[in-house]
Structure 1
Amino acid sequence: MTVRPDNRLADAPMHPVSCRACGAAVLARKSSWQQTSVQWSQSAMAACRSWDPGDPFQGRHPVCEELRASIAQAATDGTIPVLESEG
């Protein structure tokens, strides 16, 4: 059986976005207006003011309202393409 390569990142790369509140720089991708993928780096986690390592998120990094708004603005401005809108 042949394993099909996963080309999602090639077809829809992640784009840098900085939180307007704390400056945490993450990578984000919008598959639709409702669905967002966020990739955190160590430096972004260190910069984020809303993340507490002792929080019960069990290793999952939350996305605060300020970062959500920053990503939404980037999508509205066209900095991040919304894949559902393309086509």
Structure 2
Amino acid sequence: MKVVGPTCALKSSKVGGEDVVRCLSDQSLAISKSSKMEILQHVIDYIWDLQVELDTKKNQSSAPRTPLTTLNAELASISVENGCSDDRIMCR
């Protein structure tokens, strides 16, 4: 008996390639089916957690965010101070 995988043993001492592939393919199909379901469950849980987090953020009264125009103006002044041209995103 030759062991091919964790649950696959072939009785003949002369193992053909097709038998090995068939046995391993059956195992991988079983593994991939359960894995896909587990992954889908994790994705659903993750989306649910995000939704709960977004809903709690809406209900909390937090300080207003800084407008993007203010942040962009500050970023432009920093790039001018560093001598960066406008067409470059980052300066080294």
Tell me the TM-score normalized by structure 1: 0.23
**Bigger Rg over Cα:** 2
More helix as a share of residues: 2
Q: Which protein is richer in strand relative to its size? A: 1
Using CA pairs below 8 Å that are at least 6 residues apart, which structure has the higher relative contact order? 1
Q: TM-score, normalised by structure 2?
A: 0.22
